[in-house]
Amino acid sequence: MYKTFLLSAVLFSISTYTAVINSQEGVRLGIPVSEEDLSQFDLIAGPDGSGFPPGSGTARQGKEVFDVNCAVCHGANGEGTSGNTIIVGGDMQSEGPPLRTVGSYWPHASTLFDFIRRAMPAIAPKSLTNEQVYQVTAYVLYMNNIITEDVELNATNLAGIEMPNADGFIDRSDIQ
Ligand code: HEC
């Protein structure tokens, strides 16, 4: 009885050991990155007009996208629900510390599109379609009086939108 137990215990350890070895031989620490997965990271749209996806949208269309996906944190009119969620208004020339918003501070509309597309809504980044991102970007610009309600933003004209604070930065890109 005891011998049988011992033998089965030994066999059990051997088979466990073998299983460990086998699993080590077959270790797979992940799967290769597919082109589709990569496309979720390669979303950079720049001020030079590069990297914009196909699509278009107006502020009129973007109001609903904003109401459903953004207003809970940014307020119904972009007035914010906390210090860093104010995206409308502000003044870089104010006497006190300036309130930096899309309207007062952001130098490029292209990076606004880029930021919303990759990082917002904060609870579900990348959940909007490109079309919705064009629409809601237009709406944020509209709330800041930068474009009118029916201007259709698209890959061609977005980088050319003139932002109020575009000249408020010093270009130090020459520094190596
Ligand atoms: C769950 C809350 C939440 C939701 C929903 C949300 N945001 Fe935000 N958003 C934030 C927070 C918090 C910040 C500040 C992040 C930071 O400073 O890093 C922010 C920052 C931003 C900024 C940059 C503001 C600035 O001047 O730096 C923009 C633009 C923006 N959000 C747009 C949107 C849009 C458009 C939507 C809807 C599609 C959205 N957000 C949905 C929480 C949210």
Which atom of ligand 1 lies at the shortest distance from residue 101's CA? 26
Determine the distance separating the centroid of ligand 1 and the alpha carbon of 170, expressed in angstroms: 26
| pLDDT given at position 24 | 56
* Residues whose CB falls within 8 Å of the CB of residue 70, separated by 6 or more in sequence, listed in order: 120, 121, 136
From 61, 81, 84, mutation site for ligand 1 pocket: most ligand atoms within 8 A of C-beta: 84
pLDDT of residue 25: 62
pLDDT 10s per residue in the chain (176 long)? 455 555 555 445 545 444 455 555 667 788 888 888 777 777 788 888 888 999 999 999 999 999 999 999 999 999 999 989 999 999 998 899 999 999 999 999 999 999 999 999 999 999 999 999 999 999 999 999 999 999 999 999 999 999 999 999 998 989 87
Tokens 């259709």 sit at which residue?
152
Tell me how far apart the alpha carbons of residues 144 and 138 are, in angstroms, rounded to a whole number.
10
What pLDDT was estimated at residue 10?
A: 47
Residue 23: per-residue pLDDT: 55
The verdict on the CB of residue 59 being under 6 Å from ligand 1 is: no
Q: Calculate how far, in angstroms, residue 77's C-alpha sits from the geometric centre of ligand 1.
A: 13
Determine the Cα–Cα distance for residues 157 and 109; give it in Å rounded to an integer. Answer: 10
Residue nearest to atom 9 of ligand 1 (CA): 85
Contacts of 81 by beta carbon, 8 Å cutoff, 6+ apart: 72, 73, 74, 75
